[in-house]
């Protein structure tokens, strides 16, 4: 009677089905990460502004698979207490939100879904406004995928003066070097010009001297009379 035997994969090596499932999950996660919603406050995540001025708190969103009923809001982190500044819902890409709810009397929404912009303005800032501002968004089209970014505001009495001494020194040095190079090129051109004239004069002198030597030696083409000329017959 024949006995059937089942081959068990070696320990530490996944079976074929498990391997296929693992590869499939990796591919799905890769696609998900590519199309995932992201919000950004730009390359610089902070700003330093004077007391009493108006500042822009920037934020943009992006999603490779698009949005639907994208929810966003802004919060201010007041020593651990999150104070909501505004919120709204963007129906679809390129359509402005029907209503932006603002919960702060010195905040204005200045973004536009046409440019994927959900930035706000903060008017007449005070030292109490200093701190972290959080931009948050959630996209139901990506199974409520959400993302947030932090923008930090520093409030000062007056802006710091930038010391441009080193910059002035560098620019002056470069200007001096460029001026010196131009001067050298001009002098070189003048010298070459005069040397060229001297060469022409030397050539003229050589030609003239050669003509005089031929005349004195009675060579053909000389202007002097022929001493061997026959005496005319009577």
**Domain boundaries defined on the chain:** 36-156, 162-201
Lowest mean pLDDT among 7-21, 59-73, 157-171, 200-214: 7-21
Tell me the pLDDT band of 25, cut-offs 50, 70 and 90: very low
Reference 102, options 94, 110, 91; nearest CA is 110
Evaluate if residue 187 carries a pLDDT over 80: yes
Alpha helices in the chain (DSSP H): 16-35, 165-216
Fold for 36-156, please state it.
Immunoglobulin-like (2.60.40)
Are 68 and 90 in contact by the 8 Å Cβ rule? The answer is no
Reference 136, options 70, 79, 91; nearest CA is 70
What pLDDT, on the 0 to 100 scale, is given for residue 136? Answer: 98
Spatial separation of the C-alpha atoms in residues 152 and 76, rounded to whole Å: 10
User: Is residue 113 classed as helix, strand or coil in its secondary structure?
Assistant: helix
- Cα torsion 84, 51, 61, 91: sign: positive
Tell me the pLDDT band of 26, cut-offs 50, 70 and 90: very low
What pLDDT, on the 0 to 100 scale, is given for residue 22? Answer: 43
pLDDT, mean over the chain = 80
Q: Residues 57-75: pLDDT tens digits?
A: 999 999 999 999 999 999 9
Are 151 and 41 in contact by the 8 Å Cβ rule? The answer is yes
Q: Residues 124-180: pLDDT tens digits?
A: 999 999 999 999 999 999 999 999 999 999 999 986 665 566 766 787 778 778 888
Evaluate if residue 228 carries a pLDDT over 60: no
Evaluate if residue 190 carries a pLDDT over 50: yes
In terms of DSSP bridges, do strands 55-57 and 68-78 run parallel, antiparallel, or are they unpaired?
A: unpaired
Are 116 and 38 in contact by the 8 Å Cβ rule? The answer is no
Helices (H) and strands (E) in the chain, counts: 2, 11
Cβ density class 54-72: b for 16+ within 10 Å, e for less? ebebbbbbebeeebeebbb
With vertex at residue 44, the alpha carbon angle to CA 42 and CA 46, rounded to the nearest 5 degrees, is 110
**What are the C-alpha distances in Å from 31 to residues 34, 65, 142?**
5, 10, 12
- Show the tokens assigned to 28: 């799905």
């Amino acid at each position: 009677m024949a006995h059937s035997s089942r081959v068990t994969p070696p320990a530490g090596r996944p079976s074929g089905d498990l391997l296929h499932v693992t590869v499939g999950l990796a591919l799905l996660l890769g696609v998900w990460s590519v199309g995932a919603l992201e919000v950004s406050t730009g390359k610089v995540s902070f700003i330093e502004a004077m007391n009493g001025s108006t500042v822009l708190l920037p934020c943009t969103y992006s999603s490779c698979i698009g949005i639907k009923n994208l929810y966003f809001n802004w919060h201010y982190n007041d020593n651990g207490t999150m104070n909501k500044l505004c919120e709204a819902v963007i129906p679809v890409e390129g359509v402005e939100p029907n209503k932006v709810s603002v919960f702060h009397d010195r905040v204005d929404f200045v973004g536009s879904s046409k440019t994927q912009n959900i930035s706000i303005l903060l008017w007449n800032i005070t030292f109490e406004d200093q701190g972290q501002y959080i931009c948050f968004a959630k996209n139901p089209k990506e199974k409520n995928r959400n993302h947030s970014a932090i923008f930090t505001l520093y409030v000062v009495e007056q802006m710091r003066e930038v010391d441009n001494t080193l910059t002035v020194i560098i620019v002056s040095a470069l200007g001096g070097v460029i001026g010196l190079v131009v001067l050298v090129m001009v002098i070189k051109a003048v010298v070459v010009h005069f040397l060229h004239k001297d060469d022409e004069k030397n050539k003229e002198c050589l030609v003239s001297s050669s003509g005089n030597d031929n005349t004195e030696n009675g060579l053909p083409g000389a202007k002097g009379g022929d001493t061997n000329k026959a005496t005319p017959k009577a």
